[in-house]
Amino acid sequence: GIQVEQSPPDLILQEGANSTLRCNFSDSVNNLQWFHQNPWGQLINLFYIPSGTKQNGRLSATTVATERYSLLYISSSQTTDSGVYFCAVENYGGSQGNLIFGKGTKLSVKP
């Protein structure tokens, strides 16, 4: 099946710093989403981005489907950005909505 790899696994930032999280996937996808899991376990949908670029405030994401990767950019990080960021993909031709998750990037933002 499709493999999803995220890097780095852990990231520690000082408040105000910028960061880039990467998601590589091994096959064609028709759905890619980024999620943030807060310290209480809640998963929040950040971006639905099977291709192209989107921005939402301090966050932006780019997916280059032909090269099988996606990037999540966090600018001017805040302590509330801490948590785990997951990339999830739906394999092209797979069951609709069957998202395959990477293992996540654990982000800690220090004041």
Partner 1 sequence: DGGITQSPKYLFRKEGQNVTLSCEQNLNHDAMYWYRQDPGQGLRLIYYSQIVNDFQKGDIAEGYSVSREKKESFPLTVTSAQKNPTAFYLCASIGAEAFFGQGTRLTVV
Of 50 and 69, nearer to partner 1 (C-beta) is: 50
**3-state SS of 14-58?**
ECCCCEEEEEEECCCEEEEEEEEECCCCCEEEEEECCCEEEEECC
CB of 45 to partner 1, least distance (A): 5
CB of 42 to partner 1, least distance (A): 5
CB of 12 to partner 1, least distance (A): 16
Of 5 and 75, nearer to partner 1 (C-beta) is: 5
Give the number of other Cβ atoms within 10 Å of residue 57's Cβ: 7
Which residues bind to partner 1, rule: CB under 8 A?
Answer: 4, 33, 35, 40-45, 48, 86, 88, 95-99, 101-104
Can you tell me the distance from the alpha carbon of 42 to that of 38, in angstroms, rounded to the nearest whole number? 6
